[in-house]
Chain A
Amino acid sequence: MDSVIQTIQGIPLNHYLIFCSVIFSIGVIGVLIRRNVIIIMMCVELMLNSVNLLLAAFSAYRGDASGQVFVFFVMALAAAEVAVGLAIVIMVYRNTKSVDIESLSKLRW
């Protein structure tokens, strides 16, 4: 009887794995097909978020709070990354008048 109740209100761990993989892949596809630097950074945020959700799901599954603390650190890191990244985007836009990722290709050498 206990397992029946768990089956009704629980979600299989595999479904969380599949769902987060789909979201992560959508983020990867977004990075590959867009040329706007800001959209590419948004896709990176999407990937970070999918990993966050999977960490939280595993944390709830194991009953261990460390995973959710790690998610908290990832969020702090994402905030720092976005602040610096958008500052770089503004600087590049000021110099090249474009947010195209191709305008950064002169950094090759």
Chain B
Amino acid sequence: MSIFYFVAFLSIFFALMTIFAKNPVHSVLYLVITFFTFTVHYILLNAQFLAVVNFIVYMGAIMVLFLFVLMLLNLNKESEPMKSNLVKIMGAIAGMSLLATLLGAFRVLEINNDYVTGNTDVGLVENLGKVLFDEFLLPFELSSLLLLTAMIGAVLLAKKETKESNG
């Protein structure tokens, strides 16, 4: 399907805009668009549960948190620290080397003409819920513990420091 290639092109384009935008707020907004294209990818794979969760958790919660912190700290283009051009070029070369290594490794893999089609039912909420609450019940409960710990940690870290003499 050519719609995959179109959406993949959009994802790569907006991901590049994310890392090259000078203004941090623009960067966050481009990342939101990138995550939206990822949601479209999940829909193409018929992973409906993941599409909804990606939409709500990533675009709704995480990116709003980023945007909130950026606006709380009042960051803009003027206060943005920039690296020197030499470091930028070296970083880009290092990343490209990683990409070349990965692509070279994929070439060595035996060529298979298998296709990923979106007509499987594993991504529906019903099937995923059955697996999640049967096979993966313990990890699911542990992840709730992880979220609780993270919440307590975040509140403790971001709390304004009170007088030390009280303690």
Contacts and interface: CB of A to CB of B under 8 A. Distances in A.
B19 A23 contact: no
A90 interface: yes
B158 A91 contact: yes
Contacts of B117: 6, 9-10, 60
A91 to B, nearest CB: 5
Nearest to A12: B115
Q: How large is the interface on B (under 10, 10 to 19, 20 to 34, 35 or more residues)?
A: 35 or more
Interface in B77-134: 80-83, 87-88, 90-92, 94-96, 98-99, 102-103, 106, 111-120, 122-123, 127-128, 131-132
Task: Count chain A CB atoms within 10 A of each CB in B11, B38, B116, B118 and give the residue with the most.
Answer: B116
Given A19-B8, A38-B70, A46-B15, A25 B31 contact: no
A80 B147 contact: yes
A89 to B, nearest CB: 7
A104 interface: no
A46 B18 contact: yes
24 contacts: A7-B115, A10-B116, A12-B113, A19-B11, A30-B18, A32-B90, A33-B91, A35-B81, A36-B80, A43-B18, A45-B31, A46-B34, A52-B50, A59-B123, A60-B117, A60-B122, A61-B116, A68-B123, A69-B131, A76-B147, A80-B146, A82-B65, A100-B81, A102-B81
